[in-house]
A and B are shown apart, each in its own frame.
Chain A
């Protein structure tokens, strides 16, 4: 397994030592942050991240298809979430213990709420929010500039704080 592990990451990527990365993983040229003890497993096919993603503790991103799992920019994968599926757009939030399963594809600016699950083969349109104990769906407003800047500040904070308390993984930076 480890022999197959091949990671390419942009120079500004912060990957904590305890992050568990397996398989062929590409992280785009941006300020992506991988917390300790998150797991990114490209089992059957590669996983490709865009820029400025946050992957928190105990989040699992798993690709069991041979086709690459492409994940866009500015996504947040919160604590303990589980993600597979066929592709994720930009600016999405998978909240704590949210589950994105099966062959689901996700558009842009979607939210999978805490402990919510997508359908097995769902196509989440842009701005869809899944929330509550019944996994209800609704459409939220387009993200505004304030929220976008909040995400960037979040990233900046993590990039500053995480290295103070964690060892970082040295990755080949040849993207």
Chain B
């Protein structure tokens, strides 16, 4: 076991799971600011993930970088709370966008010039044999084969050369077309075509009128599921009986059973370099040869671009530019731009690991991505606040993570603006110069408050050995001066690909109900501080 590294995981309220199971965990729902500010500090907050935080197995805990934020639900959305939809298919090598309709006929692989090395799976390049005779003079092959094709594939990594397996090309373009013949001749392709032919009649008969011939032409999974529903309905209506009408199928291809030969060869093998490895075999699924000489270059697999929708309200959270070359996102609602980013810092002259029963002070740094100042209220399930009347919880109520004291449960974090980054560099070149905050602020438990971040002090006393982690309820509210800002999502200026994606969405925050001026949200997170030793 590796020693645990410190982390901050954010909790997604996963409505599909937590709400259907009857547990109301709307800790992160928007409440009235008035009600909330008083209640949050008084009551013992309910921990949605239980008291023993299994960060390894809990499906609702993620690092901030993996989370999205739905502007309509005002909630964090984790990867399992979003729906993926295919936007486009493209080849990762030539960046050609493959029309959805032809993806299937091209068997999900690039139908142009892109091949992967059969030996090491890197991308092959097309190489021309120059006018000079391709082999050293005196080689008998030149004379016997005068019409040698001038182009071949070459791997720059393992130096594999398609001439080794007798593959050459007449021209350097549309290589896939030129290889098509040999591909079509392979028994598995033949057999598959034969099978398709055999079932075609039946398939056409059973397909509802509304169903397009290619399932892949559907980009929305919503309509996809409707479609699936349709088909099953149709079947139930009586087409089931026709299932049996399909005639008996006889294989058209017969491949001799060569297992004994393969075994003999393997027994007599002297060098392991001529035996293919598993990865090489799996890249050539239909015959999976043991002999590296029988490995052929394969066309490169296509990739997809996906959009992501909130599963609750079906609004789009992530939408990439369709073009394969573009790395820009039309819509990018990532949690990082909406909720405070929490990081940890050690105090000077303090080191990890934590010691059992030894109080240790640490810094939690809250960075505000919003253009408005936020005020933050923190709570842990078991707390003894400096100002509250709550005393230390009795022994038996003590949670397995030990004691955590928030020296400053209420604080504000300044607003973000673009010039901050420059100020930081110019004015405070050295970070050491600013790590001596005034003593006054220390007393409030605020270690440092600058620009758009505030660092606060917490004190932890681990009770047990092992990993130390504790839950933290973060409640933040802010006044929005921009009452009306429609969605921010779909601004669609093309071109300009290299502007800052991160900062782009920051201005367009939330706010659909103009009447409500103060917004309050909250979320849970789990802070892990690594190992505790005795």
Which residues of A are in contact with B by a Cβ distance under 8 Å?
111, 113, 129, 131-132, 136-142, 144-146, 149
A146's contact among B134, B159, B160, by CB below 8 Å, is which? B134
Q: Which residues of B contact A132 (CB under 8 A)?
A: 120, 157-158
In the complex, how many angstroms separate the beta carbon of A175 from the nearest chain B beta carbon? 29
Instruction: Write the B134-155 contact mask toward A (1 if CB under 8 angstroms, else 0).
Output: 1110000000000000000000
Stretch of B125-133, B336-344, B351-359, B515-523 that contacts chain A: B125-133
Closest A residue by C-beta to B119: A138
Closest B residue by C-beta to A145: B132
Q: How far is the CA of A140 from the CA of B156 in the complex (A)?
A: 12
In the complex, how many angstroms separate the beta carbon of B472 from the nearest chain A beta carbon? 40
> Is A141 a contact partner of B161 (Cβ separation < 8 A)?
yes
Which residues of B are in contact with A by a Cβ distance under 8 Å?
119-120, 129-130, 132-136, 157-161, 163-164, 273, 292
Complex A-B: 19 CB contacts under 8 Å: A111-B159, A113-B157, A131-B120, A132-B157, A132-B158, A136-B158, A137-B273, A138-B159, A138-B292, A139-B273, A140-B159, A140-B160, A140-B161, A141-B159, A141-B163, A141-B164, A145-B133, A146-B129, A149-B130
Q: How far is the CA of A106 from the CA of B283 in the complex (A)?
A: 32
> Is B159 a contact partner of A129 (Cβ separation < 8 A)?
yes
Q: How far is the CA of A139 from the CA of B272 in the complex (A)?
A: 12
Q: How far is the CA of A46 from the CA of B130 in the complex (A)?
A: 40
B135's contact among A136, A139, A144, A149, by CB below 8 Å, is which? A144
> Is A149 a contact partner of B132 (Cβ separation < 8 A)?
yes
> Is B158 a contact partner of A144 (Cβ separation < 8 A)?
no
Q: How far is the CA of A146 from the CA of B119 in the complex (A)?
A: 23
A145's contact among B119, B136, B157, B159, by CB below 8 Å, is which? B136
Q: Which residues of B contact A142 (CB under 8 A)?
A: 136
Q: Which residues of B contact A113 (CB under 8 A)?
A: 157-158
In the complex, how many angstroms separate the beta carbon of B466 from the nearest chain A beta carbon? 35
Q: How far is the CA of A113 from the CA of B122 in the complex (A)?
A: 13
Q: Which residues of B contact A111 (CB under 8 A)?
A: 159
In the complex, how many angstroms separate the beta carbon of B509 from the nearest chain A beta carbon? 44
Q: Which residues of B contact A129 (CB under 8 A)?
A: 158-159
Q: How far is the CA of A111 from the CA of B120 in the complex (A)?
A: 15
> Is A146 a contact partner of B132 (Cβ separation < 8 A)?
yes
A136's contact among B120, B130, B132, B163, by CB below 8 Å, is which? B120
Q: How far is the CA of A139 from the CA of B136 in the complex (A)?
A: 19
> Is A146 a contact partner of B130 (Cβ separation < 8 A)?
yes
In the complex, how many angstroms separate the beta carbon of B155 from the nearest chain A beta carbon? 9
Closest A residue by C-beta to B127: A146
In the complex, how many angstroms separate the beta carbon of B276 from the nearest chain A beta carbon? 11
Q: How far is the CA of A149 from the CA of B120 in the complex (A)?
A: 27
> Is B129 a contact partner of A131 (Cβ separation < 8 A)?
no
